[in-house]
Structure 1
């Protein structure tokens, strides 16, 4: 039977070899030799996002090139006590990127800039200190391309997540971020700069991925890219007609196409843009939630959502941090407790899904924008055609007084993705009265936690301690975990986000250091909470 293993590295261990160390030294005499950059704010390097430990280093350095990293490691090798730790954006939770009395490398200034490369596919060469939100913006804006696997929060560095794992709601399809790397540049503990890949220095490559920085400092990564989800948009250079007509237009769009679906710009143009259908539904019990989530992640790609994740929250009206406010997507939407059945469990579960507007044309819309019939509701071809044409006429008639041309193809694409999502959710056992949905851009969807960060910084909660724990539990044990942890402990209050969602072990890159912790086959449930 598969077993569960929990790995936790309290602090960064020595990166460099003791081979050249001089006995009895404390390393301080070598600090002056580190001329890569001016020493930074040491207090910054003594803290991290977890906020639970304070470990000052001897110095904080900000390398701008890989050669700077090499020099720092080589100097540290001359001491038996100087440790080296690479720090990204400081999002560790237990001092893993700290070095007591040692050298912390702030990787955020590391170059060179991101570069598009073509070698058996399209990829991006990315410095390890780049934030994933910067990779997203650069790829989509400049090239219409993006990586396939992400983390929930994008304000963390490429080198940081590749040293850990990088797991989120796309991992069931594409694997974690460590499984989506073509090449690395690593500075090892002996001060050597090495380029590695699955076919070149593969031992180092697979050890560094998920290796918690213990096998070297990642300085560059080559990340494969794919076309980003297509934008569905309608543009007209000028809005004609009286102001009342323009008001009617916006009112119709708000009623029929949901305000969150589009970026509504002020005159003289209207741009309608949507790339992701974003859905949250609520479950009254864990058995239904886990069963549906497992079923969703085992669908064929042509039948699967692009993102499946979820979280647990308390079924308690009196709890001020019950998590109800985190379920609705749109500002102003309200979680209605009256819709929770009386027989619901003390812990509720929210399943979060996303479906992209991308390559699903064969299943939903053809090349000219005609809807394909739904297997659930539009099986009659004649009725489908009449429904499609009637809906187009209604929308075009409403928009025509303002002189706005709303292309039938765009309308079909909008309806198609909603119809597709509804059909895919048909078998699920969520509470029908607690459904929240929105249509947003691809970048906005991936940046959703960044908006929560802005709110947390504004109200001061971002600076509070975050004793997070990441754990993977075998699917055969997850029901017991729910009974023991969720229902006995969390029923008295969660106190913060508690994510729980299924992953496929087959999607882990089994040669990486990370995968050594998760032996066996089948499903695991990943969780993260406070």
Structure 2
């Protein structure tokens, strides 16, 4: 009997291993491959049987089956996959019922499910070809609630916008500690990726400032999770690219807010000096609340183009400065304060600036409200929309580059591979010790690494898509260079067209990724637009065999 029991146990383990291998090796269908996905042609409409199946569900909200082209668009502007239906849920129960229905269809349906907020994904990650797109902002069953006290927090629906959290928490003298540069994004969207901005060197990304989540898994289960309750799912979902569950509620940590912001910009000629100052500030005991950097290539008359609200510290010397088309590096800093702290804060800023080695004539300062500073990108958005330049393709590339390689990266990429600014180029360091390595977010294996973001816009021209193709080719050259480096970069907001590349991206975490996928989304229903796993009948049937054993 002992031998037979051991055989059955080994057989069960073997079946699970086979299933992992099938999930790892499932080929991608042609209509999801990168060489076809940049087409603007919408895919074929859903089948009658698919829509009939969804129409049979009884929900508080409703399904939309016609005129769904808006759900096949995103900020990236390159991928356009038409869903079968868009769900406008009123409650979390609607999300659960829909996913459970798709799960129970099993091999008889190719339906998948994608959560969509404001559609700011870059590579079609919130799209579901012939599947169901869930419009997360429609959920009304959860209300925003601020909890003051010793460990302040705010409970928010997954479809809520960060800008609305800012306004609500400020009423209580509180605010989240970590932000994205753009606040008109949903909670679920940024927490599924990471949420990195100029506060990350102090407080880590947004995913490291979460106390609790409510998640709907790929089986339709509604699960409350935190570090101590269902911790595997909690850390898996944070930065998990939507692979294990849809975030329907989050409890975000808060800290004391401030009313005003001292906003500072300065320039450098040399990258080594620029990066040295950034790292000095990152490890300084008395530092700023926000720090980012920018690369400026092939620009002239730069100082005259800075925001009119910025004033030069030395107007005479500033008026004499000229970039002469050389590569420059801009350090951007911010210090939060309340009016009664002005003198003390000003002294601290002067002391910190005296230890830096920027070009003296390029020091510019401004003072704005906290809301004005944090919502600064939205102002630019409105201006671009007025000119018709917002809704264009955005072939962005975001990288995490190890400190040991950043100087070599800067030397080879800025001014060589990237010969001109197609948009903003961000670059700033973060401290790995401030980050939680239990989450799904993949970072370089060094204590300090840099976020480098190429935020290009493909402005239409008489030549059609030529500009877009140029930027994509340029991005590929940067990626090829990264592949040649001895210590690897990692993509942030990653996008790959083969599972081999995904395995390389996750590295040692790949085994955990596949295990969690099997446990929380065994039929690969969720987030098909990420192209990590693909729902297939072979995967489903093998799962059934495993359950039978």
State the Cα distance separating 1:298 from its structure 2 match: 1.1
- What corresponds to 2:200 in structure 1? 171
More helix by share: 2
Which among 223, 233, 236 is matched to residue 194 of structure 1? 223
Q: After the TM superposition, which of the residue ranges 201-210 and 428-437 deviates more from structure 2?
A: 428-437
**1:292 corresponds to which of 277, 285, 290:** 277
CA pair 116-332 structure 1, distance change in 2 beyond 3 A: closer
TM-superposed CA distance for 1:444, in Å, is 1.1
Deviation at 1:28, TM superposition (A): 3.9
Aligned to 1:61: 87
The yes-or-no answer on 1:525 pairing with 2:450 is yes
- Pair 1:500-2:523 in alignment: no
Query: What is the CA distance between 1:60 and its match in structure 2?
Result: 1.1
Give the distance between the partners of 1:465 and 1:425, measured in 2 at CA.
39
| Correspondence 1:19-418 to 2 at 5 A | 27-34=50-57, 35=59, 36-39=61-64, 41-77=67-103, 78=105, 79-111=108-140, 112-117=142-147, 121-140=151-170, 142-229=171-258, 231=259, 275-300=260-285, 303-317=286-300, 327-328=306-307, 330=309, 338-340=320-322, 346-357=326-337, 413-418=341-346
In the aligned structure 2, how far is the partner of 1:435 from the partner of 1:219? 44
Counterpart-to-counterpart distance in 2, 1:337 and 1:527 = 30
The answer for the alignment partner of 1:243 in structure 2 is none
Alpha-carbon offset, residue 346 of structure 1: 3.1
CA distance in 1, matches of 2:266, 2:157: 38
- 1:188 and 1:283, CA in 2 relative to 1: closer, same or farther beyond 3 A? same
Structure-2 change in CA distance of 1:484 and 1:337 (3 Å): farther
- 1:314–1:323 Cα contact (<8 Å) kept: no
Q: CA offsets per residue over residues 275-316 of structure 1, 9 Å max, x none? A: 11010111112111111011111112xx11100101111143
Which structure has the larger Rg over C-alpha atoms? Answer: 1
Specify every segment of 5 or more residues in structure 2 that has no aligned partner in the other structure, as ranges.
Answer: 1-27, 34-46, 457-549
Distance in structure 2 (CA, Å) of the matches to 1:341 and 1:119: 50
The 3-state SS of whatever aligns with 1:150 is: coil
CA contact (8 A) 1:329 1:437 kept: no
Stretches of structure 1 lacking an aligned partner (at least 5 in a row): 1-8, 13-23, 232-274, 359-409
Cα RMSD over matched residues? 2.6
Evaluate the alpha carbon distance shift between residue 325 and residue 157 of structure 1 in structure 2; reply closer, same or farther with a 3 A threshold. farther
TM-score when normalising by structure 1: 0.72
Indicate the residue corresponding to 1:371 in structure 2.
none
Once the 2 structures are TM-superposed, how far is the Cα of residue 32 of structure 1 from its aligned partner? Answer: 1.4
Residue matched to 2:482: none
Q: Kindly tell me: are residues 329 and 203 of structure 1, through their superposed partners in 2, closer, same or farther at Cα, counting changes over 3 Å?
A: farther
Residue 329 and residue 181 in structure 1: after superposition, are their counterparts in 2 closer, same or farther (change >3 A)?
Answer: farther
Residue of structure 2 equivalent to 1:424? 352
What corresponds to 1:373 in structure 2?
none
Where does residue 539 of structure 2 map in the other structure?
Answer: none
TM-score by length of 2: 0.69
